[in-house]
Structure 1
Amino acid sequence: MEQQQQVHSYGAEHIRVLEGLEAVRNTPGMYIGNTGTEGLHQLVWEVVDNAVDEALAGFCHNIDVIVHLDSSVTIEDDGRGIPTEMHPSEKIPAAEVVMTMLHAGGKFDSNTYKVSGGLHGVGVSVVNALSEVLKLEIRRGGQVYRQTYRRGKKDSDLEVVGTTKRNGTKITFKADSTIFGNLELGYDIIAARLRELAYLNKGLRISFEDERSQKAPAVFEYEGGIISFVEHLNRAKKTMDGNPIYIIGEKDSNFIECAIQYNDGYSETVFSYCNNINTFEGGTHLSGFRAALTRTVNQYASSKNLLKNGKSQVSISGEDLREGLTAVLSVRMLNPQFDSQTKSKLGNMDIRGIVEQFVNDKLSQYLEENPATARWIVQKALEAGRAREAAKKARELTRRKSALEISALPGKLADCQEKDPEQTELFIVEGESAGGSAKQGRERRTQAVLPLKGKILNVEKARFDKIIQSQEIRTLVTALGTGIGEEDFDVSKIRYHKIIIMTDADVDGSHIRTLILTFFFRWMPDVINRGYLYFAQPPLFKVKKGKHEFYVKDESDLENIVLDNGLENVRIEKSNGELLEGTILVNIIKNLMRMEKILDMYERKNMERIVLKAFVREGLTADSLSSEDTVRELMQKVLARLETKHPYIRPVIMNMEKDEEESKYYVDVQSRHNGLTRRTRIDFDMTESPSFEEIVSINKRVTLVGEPPFIMKTDERRIEVPSFSNLVELIVENGRKKLAIQRYKGLGEMNADQLWETTMNPENRKILQVAIEDAVKANEIFSTLMGDQVEPRREFIEKNALNVVNLDY
């Protein structure tokens, strides 16, 4: 009866109409896949893809991407700029239509964009809807237009704010934390995508800067296009003679481009794209390419009598032909059909036949014209086939007949009682000693432990038949239950949905972890792609305070502990005698530490932090640079401040100049400090950046408590503090004095109870999920560090030696 009443209460008034971008905010997963890491980065891709579409149309040559310290992102291009005139039917500026209405844009008109990526007319409006704030700047028709939006709704009208000689669009957005929660963008994820786009669009220049990172700004520009891409993928390997095989052309209004090169390795590295979108799950275009490769090489080898084995004729399988293959396939087409909004797999059935026929024709011609290369490919594939046959018997040893046959499991595996893979965990532990502690400390119902003896085989240097003979690898494969090899591997049979690599935090532990990771990356990538592989995170520090000892998980936790200890019994006396302590003092110190981090970023750009601070203290904003008189007045104030407070850093040169293109002023300061000469440019773009706006905001909050000098009082002493930065240094120094900090390295340093509490207990532990954020970079690193070629490894070590910290001797 009650159920009937509920049904009857369902009426027209319960049908809700979501207007504008409200639907996007209510169900963001429908538009960007999810609200996790992938969805967050999808926002970046949508704006970048719009800029790349301008490049495909022939109007854009440069794209600049900046990730700011607050995780906001700026993307600027030199394309035509979004139209700003009034829309004929909507009666609002066209730019506002694009930013606020779904399915509005130039991609529905095939004359404007022949091909495009993005979300087909909903991309930038979705970004706007899911952003806490979005700032739009358009350069078009000699004028600069600006507009601000908050959570998809306009916060200001589209206004003309200046003149310019350039064209283009600049968008700065910060994702809405109430939707995404974690706003941490990945440097490698973004760099990978931008690098791909530069390879796929020869001649396009893309710059990338991450203000949070100490890495120098990167510029991606490749005149060789995907040929350069393949050469980059193979740079740490020995390749067949000559340049990569290059195929390009159009067939049935589809643009097809492919580069192929073989190396002497044993793994396949193929990347496929459609309209610049990385179809990392493949699809019909990749199936067509693979079919064409197998058929064409077999036809050539048969016609040249290269497949004779005694009296019998053999054939080359696709698996054999893909050993050592490196290839990039790119297609551009109208109306691509992807399997989801995130576009990981292409579904157009007709493109398979088109690609297959096109590649077959072009590759057949190449093989006929290059017989030496053709014979090299055939012989390599035949050798791979012989090795595959030799490995068949060895492979049988690793097959697991049934998930319930415990007797078939390796003896060293301490298995768990639970049989549901979704509920179970496998700890792969370095050494018998740590394995013994893990077995004692584990939760036996759901946690299994597999100790591995020593360092497993480096699979980067071994063919499959050699890999399958390795006792430690056979033990691991049998424990997992998946089988191994193209014919036998089945990830659905895996016995654990959490596989946790647990090694010491020293050089040997890192090496063992890398060897295990290399195995999964090369032979079981689906385990990584499904999110089953993890790293255990034993605590990095053991801290002793008085008689009390405890473990600290990471640098961030240690910083908080040091700060808390540094503020114990500390009071700050202002010049008027007022005391600062408690919550107010904690907030001041945290704000000051944040400001110092931002200033560190500017110093990495070779800008003088004291000069920047002086400008901030004297009230520099973007508006300050709008007139000559205002700029001159500001310069005089800064000079006076530097002369009074920092006489040792008086500027060598301080000039005001005008940017004729933008009709704005800027200040160029050349100063000398500690023997270094730095040039600090204060311009309109810098003062408008989120990072600079943040230090201006922090400065306002901090200076409300007054200007230094202060007196820092503790129970033991009284210290004069001349500046805010000195105050932070003294607090940190005071905190470290009270603590004995020891960097923790070995699992063997803990007994079973401690290992459980810090590293294995799901309630307390911290584990890191392994993900392939940058497949190109991952492939390069494994090839460089684990491969046969010595020179690329030496270059890598020399380049990165100074970045190493906590190296064990």
Structure 2
Amino acid sequence: MNKKNYDNESIQSLKGADRVRKRPSVIFGSDGLEGCQHSFFEILSNSIDEAREGYGKEIVVTRHQDWSVTVEDQGRGIPVDYNAKEERYNWELVFTEMYAGGKYNNNDSDVYEYSLGLNGLGLCATQYSSEYMDVEIYRDGFEYTLHFEKGEMTPDGFSKKPSTRRKTGSKITWRPDLDVFKEVQIPIDYYQDVIKKQSIVNPGIRFILKDEISDLAHEYFYENGIYDYVSEITDGQAFADVFYFEEQGAGKDREDMKPYKVKTQVALTFSNTINKLEYFHNSSYLEHGGSPDKAVKSALVYEVDKLIKKLNKYTKNEKKITFVDVQDSLVLVTNSFSTTTSYENQTKKAITNKFVQDFMTDVIKRNLEIIFIENIEQAEKIVDQVLINKRSREKAETTRLNLKKTLGTKMDVTNRVKKFVDCRIKDPSNREVYILEGDSALGSCKLARDSEFQALMPIRGKILNCLKADYDKIFQSDIIIDLIKVLGCGVEIKTRHNKELDTFNLDNLRWDKVIICTDADVDGFHIRTMVLTMIYRLIPTLIEEGKVFIAESPLFEITTSDGETFFAYNEKEKNAYLKKTNKKVNIQRSKGLGENDPDMMWQTTMCPATRRLIRVTTDDVFETQSMFEILLGDDLNGRKDFIEENGELYLEMLDLS
């Protein structure tokens, strides 16, 4: 074993650009694409800070062919000339010095009141992590240009010359370095998402995104900020007005700390079809929320619960609402600002300021109380919907627990589905189950099947129409529960209030083929459709994966005078056979699976070599869903119209004898 020395000379410190280039994830949260994206946001943030302070109304972002990016603003221009106080050029401080900038004395300075960047890291760190960076700055009647490579200023990289340009501003072009980040090809949808969000929380600022790769340009502008954004999200699908309020104040996170300023804006409404929560702080999108999220949850639950009690809407002994019940119908966006901000880390995905949380909680509570008083009819709609959400959630949870208990127990001798007949082989890839119509079919199929790999599951009585029924009713059906148990893969639930019921896992499917086998008559077709509807609603992946089949059973048994037997599966096949034979025949119409002898059942319905199986597919899922809903849903007029227009096509299928 080789021993490595660990002595005084082993300790070293990173200097200059190496502080970022060798450890980018410390600053950007990642050395992958996410970190590279964050480096772009650091530059964009500086331009936004300028525009929000009233310096410029337009920011242009350009993605270039070589994956470099340019951010250009109309701000005051970054100060890069000689700094007598520091006895250095400001470009050295801003572009090559960590923790240097103009945002450290916000409580005593009017440079930036509410700044997105506070640590003096972003611009320098992005420059350090770049393959190259070119800077153009216009201010004080001069044009300044700077050129950096691999984090270092080139020998002739700084220049200053007089300029006749009247507008000030900064233009920064850089290419993230593949020696620093694993990936630098930032997709256009990231730029679109970030820039749109910034236009939302910075009303009146126009953002233009130019993309040389796609040769397209996008413009983002929200005159009224988050109010317009919430209106856009709901797009007429809200059952309440969009309410907006804003306030500002000052306070401390702790008694021994200095006070700081806080401003908050809130826009919210309620909808049956849409829910969304988004938080921004100093223009930064807070993916994980932090203080604003805690404030919203506390205030909303408090005020809605208070109103429910005031209106006497709770039933006796009913539990209090939770935020989940409110959130199910809530569309809310907050945009807060503070002169002192504590982020969880440099990626700014959550803030931790205690005073921001307390301030926002109080603001939301007071304004909601006034809104509910002044808009009592809308307030009643809101609490009614919240209670519907709550009761749906509780019902779904009860159903989930019952379903989990029912389906969670492995099928064995003590927990066997009544009349289910298993096969001997255990390998799911070779097993198939026949879902049969009634006990009589079970008898003939039991004698006809190959018990090595064919299992039988009879359906007792008529199955529930799963398109019309609620989930709690569906899972009260013994037939459906037994079918789900036999299949073994759980159920798929996609609706908002019943996500907890989703137990589906295709790997747990116990069969290679699920075969629906019913009589060739109207009742048989109805049962087949009900089983298909159940699978379609509860386990649609089985259809998408091609696991579901229909076993065609013959409609006619034709016996000739010399003992030859032919099975016709429909009128067309029967007539074709009669047309080509000159023998005397005896035609017997099938009276049901239960009356077929085992040899006939094996030959026509169960033998893999001679049976006819129709694989159920969903080439067009929407068309299939539409047909199920027309024939079995609640749209009576749609069903009537369909029958009037298409009924004649199915006349030969009617049993009118």
Look up the equivalent residue of 1:122 and give its one-letter code.
L
Structure 2 residue aligned with 1:298 = 305
CA distance 1:294–1:477, change in 2 (3 Å) = farther
Asked if 1:347 is matched to 2:352, the reply is yes
Conserved 8 A contact 1:251-1:358: no
Provide the secondary structure at the position in 2 that maps to 1:158.
Answer: strand
Whether the aligned pair in 2 keeps the contact of 1:480 and 1:496 (CA below 8 Å) is no
Q: Residues 397 and 249 of structure 1: is their aligned pair in 2 closer, same or farther, counting only changes over 3 Å? A: same
Which residue is 1:224 aligned to?
224
Give, in angstroms, the shift of residue 259 of structure 1: 0.4
Q: 2:63 corresponds to which residue?
A: 67
1:387 and 1:465 in contact (8 A); partners too: no
Question: What's 1:687 paired with?
Answer: none
Structure-2 change in CA distance of 1:342 and 1:487 (3 Å)? farther
2:159 partner letter: E
Aligned partner (choices 353, 377, 380) of residue 382 of structure 2: 377
Q: Secondary structure at the match of 1:341?
A: coil
**Which residue matches 1:147?**
146
d(CA) in 1 for partners of 2:133, 2:123: 10
Q: Which residue of 2 aligns with 1:722?
A: none
Which residue matches 1:558?
Answer: none
CA distance in 1, matches of 2:364, 2:475: 34
- Whole-Å Cα distance in 2 between the matches of residues 332 and 463 of structure 1? 45
1:245 to 238, 243, 246: 243
Q: In 1, Cα distance between the equivalents of 2:471 and 2:346? A: 37
Contact 1:21 1:101 in 2 (8 A): no
Give yes or no for the alignment of 1:201 onto 2:202. yes
Partner of 2:137: 138
CA contact 2:396–2:500 (8 Å) conserved in 1? no
Which residue is equivalent to 1:617?
A: none
**Hey, what's the Cα distance between the residues in 2 that align with 1:307 and 1:339?**
40
Contact preservation (8 Å) 1:399, 1:481: no
Letter in 2 for 1:251: G
Tell me which residue corresponds to 1:45: 41
* Residue equivalent to 1:77: 73
Task: Pick from 257, 265, 274 the counterpart of residue 257 of structure 1.
Answer: 265
1:99–1:128: 8 Å Cα contact kept in structure 2? yes
- Once residues 96 and 500 of structure 2 are traced to their aligned partners in structure 1, the CA distance between those partners, rounded to angstroms, is 48
Residue aligned with 1:148, SS? strand
Instruction: Specify the alignment match of 1:19 in structure 2.
Output: 15
Contact persistence 2:104–2:118 (CA under 8 A): no
How far the C-alpha of 1:125 sits from its partner, in A, is 0.6
1:659-678 alignment to 2 at 5 Å? none
Mapped to 2, the partners of 1:468 and 1:261 lie a distance apart of: 34
Determine if contact 1:129/1:151 at 8 Å carries over to the other structure. yes
Deviation at 1:300, TM superposition (A): 2.2
Secondary structure of the 1:170 match is strand
One-letter amino acid of the structure 2 residue matched with residue 258 of structure 1: V
Offset of residue 210 of structure 1: 1.3
Equivalent position SS for 1:194? helix
Query: Residues of 2 paired with 1:484 and 1:88: CA distance?
Result: 65
Computing the radius of gyration over CA atoms, which structure comes out larger, 1 or 2?
2
Secondary structure at the aligned position of 2:135 is classed as strand
* Secondary structure of the corresponding residue to residue 27 of structure 2: helix
CA distance in 2, matches of 1:477, 1:40: 45
Deviation at 1:240, TM superposition (A): 1.7
Mapped contact 1:102–1:121 kept (Cα < 8 A): yes
Residue of structure 2 equivalent to 1:174: 175
| 1:400 to partner: Cα distance | 8.0
Shift of 1:28: 0.7
TM (norm. structure 2) is 0.60
Residue 511 (structure 2) aligns with: none
Q: Which has the higher contact order (CA 8 A, sep 6+)?
A: 1
2:293 corresponds, among 274, 286, 291, to 286
How far off is 1:108 after superposition? Answer: 1.1
SS at match of 1:116: coil
Aligned partners of 2:307 and 2:383 also within 8 Å:
no
CA shift in 2, pair 1:261/1:354, >3 Å: same
Distance 1:496 1:259, change over 3 A: farther
Q: Is the 8 A contact 2:95 2:124 kept in 1?
A: yes
- The alpha carbon displacement at 1:320 in A equals 1.8
1:640-660 deviations in Å (ceiling 9; x for gaps): xxxxxxxxxxxxxxxxxxxxx
Mapped contact 1:336–1:346 kept (Cα < 8 A): yes
Equivalent position of 2:444 in the other structure:
none
TM-score, normalized by length of structure 1? 0.49
Deviations 1:482-520 (A, max 9, x none): 9998999699x99999xxxxxxxxxxxxxxxxxxxxx9x
Match of 1:91 in 2: 87
1:746-793 Cα deviation digits (max 9, x unpaired): xxxxxxxxxxxxxxxxxxxxxxxxxxxxxxxxxxxxxxxxxxxxxxxx
Deviation at 1:397, TM superposition (A): 5.3
Q: Does 1:32 align with 2:28?
A: yes
Shift of 1:185: 0.9
Counterpart pick for 1:101 among 69, 74, 97:
97
Aligned length: 442
Distance 2:24 2:40 in 1: 15
Are residues 174 and 320 of structure 1, via their aligned partners in 2, closer, same or farther at CA, if it must alter by over 3 Å?
same
Q: Which residue matches 1:800?
A: none
**Cα pair distance change 1:231/1:153, threshold 3 Å:** same
> 1:93, 1:465 → 2: CA distance?
72
Of 303, 310, 329 in structure 1, the residue corresponding to residue 334 of structure 2 is 329
Distance 2:98 2:488 in 1: 49
* Aligned partner letter, 1:105: G
Distance 2:76 2:68 in 1: 24
Letter in 1 for 2:379: A
Distance 1:384 1:101, change over 3 A: same
CA contact (8 A) 1:403 1:481 kept: no
Structure 2 residue runs of 5 or longer lacking an equivalent are 251-260, 421-426, 428-466, 508-537, 539-544, 546-657
Distance 1:465 1:401 in 2: 14
How many Å separate the matches in 1 of 2:369 and 2:227?
Answer: 19
Matches within 5 A, 1:537-576: none
CA contact (8 A) 1:245 1:261 kept: yes
Root mean square deviation, CA, Å: 4.1
- Paired residue secondary structure (1:217): strand
Per the alignment, do residues 480 and 79 of structure 1 end up closer, same or farther by CA in structure 2, a change over 3 Å counting? farther
Tell me how far apart the structure 1 counterparts of residues 384 and 58 of structure 2 sit (CA, whole Å): 44
User: Match of 1:177, SS?
Assistant: coil
Assess, with a 3 A threshold, how the Cα gap between structure 1 residues 308 and 246 changes in structure 2: closer, same or farther.
same
CA offsets 1:372-425 (integer angstroms, 9 cap, x no match): 2111111111222232233233322554899997999xx9xxxxx9xxxxxxxx
Deviations 1:569-601 (A, max 9, x none): xxxxxxxxxxxxxxxxxxxxxxxxxxxxxxxxx
Change (3 A) 1:463 1:106: farther
Distance 1:107 1:466, change over 3 A: farther
C-alpha contact (below 8 Å) 2:20/2:125 kept by paired residues:
yes
Equivalent position amino acid for 2:267 in 1? A
Matched, 1:357 2:362: yes
Q: Match of 1:630? A: none
Matches for 1:115-134 after TM superposition, within 5 Å: 115-118=114-117, 120-134=119-133
Query: What's the secondary structure of 1:378's corresponding residue?
Result: helix
**Partners of 1:154 and 1:29 in 2: how far apart?**
23
| Identical pairs, percent | 25
Distance 1:467 1:91 in 2: 78
Conserved 8 A contact 1:134-1:149: yes
1:183 is matched with which residue?
184
Note the residue ranges of structure 1 that are not aligned, 5 or more in a row: 412-416, 418-458, 498-518, 520-535, 537-809
